[in-house]
Chains A and B, each alone.
Chain A
């Protein structure tokens, strides 16, 4: 595997279900991100982890719970979601804080549908 991978690619869940999204990066990066992409909206940053520490939580509802066990893996745990949470969830990674520009590389995304 190369780059950033995400599983599953598609997920349909009911509002009472609990599921998890997984992201893995094979780039040796130190920072990982979760984004939400909805139609006609800019990508919305949800969470940022630098060296396994959460450095940003962009006012995300508690029904989304991130987990970063190491610099290569990132999870997004989902529970009691709402239909408006249906979107493409993107994971990205970057080298991490360096004082210079920090390019983010994205995974293919998980298309989530909440019924």
Chain B
């Protein structure tokens, strides 16, 4: 069965302290890997889709990268408003469009 594992489960950073979140996945074939941001009590907000190993995407202080086994979400000089849970999901090459999610990394950025 497909599996998505995210680490760490929780991360506390000082404002301006850069770090990375990890998403490891095992699928028979990858159609796409997705990153979402979720604020408390709200639905996930789409951030990025990555398609193939070596691909990178950036949005403000966030950069997502992809290898054949994992993806990283790099956060550069984070601000308190970056505090949220970051979810990773994969879509399999064969079959339906279903997403398989990890449990997320809860990021807290302290002023």
Chains A and B come from one and the same complex:
yes
B34 touches A103 (CB 8 A): yes
B31 touches A103 (CB 8 A): no
**Residues from 38 to 64 in A contacting B, C-beta threshold 8 Å:** 40-43, 45, 48, 55-56
Range of interface residues on B (Cβ < 8 Å): 20 to 34
Q: A43-B87, A55-B96, A101-B91 are in contact. Are A108 and B42 (CB under 8 A)?
A: yes
Q: A42-B103, A43-B87 are in contact. Are A105 and B97 (CB under 8 A)?
A: no
Least distance between A25 CB and chain B CB atoms (Å): 12
- Report the interface size for chain A: residues with CB under 8 A from the other chain: 28
Q: A40-B103, A55-B96, A101-B49 are in contact. Are A107 and B43 (CB under 8 A)?
A: yes
| Majority secondary structure, B binding face | strand
B43 touches A41 (CB 8 A): no
User: Which chain A residue has the least Cβ–Cβ distance from B32?
Assistant: A101
Interface string of B36-59 (1 = CB under 8 A from A): 100001111110010100000000
Q: A43-B87, A43-B101 are in contact. Are A105 and B46 (CB under 8 A)?
A: yes
Q: Cα distance A97–B31 when bound, in Å?
A: 12
A45 touches B98 (CB 8 A): yes
* Interface CB pairs A-B, < 8 A, 8: A42-B4, A45-B98, A48-B96, A56-B96, A97-B97, A101-B91, A103-B34, A105-B46
By Cβ-Cβ distance, the 3 closest A-B pairs, closest first, are: A101-B32, A106-B43, A102-B97
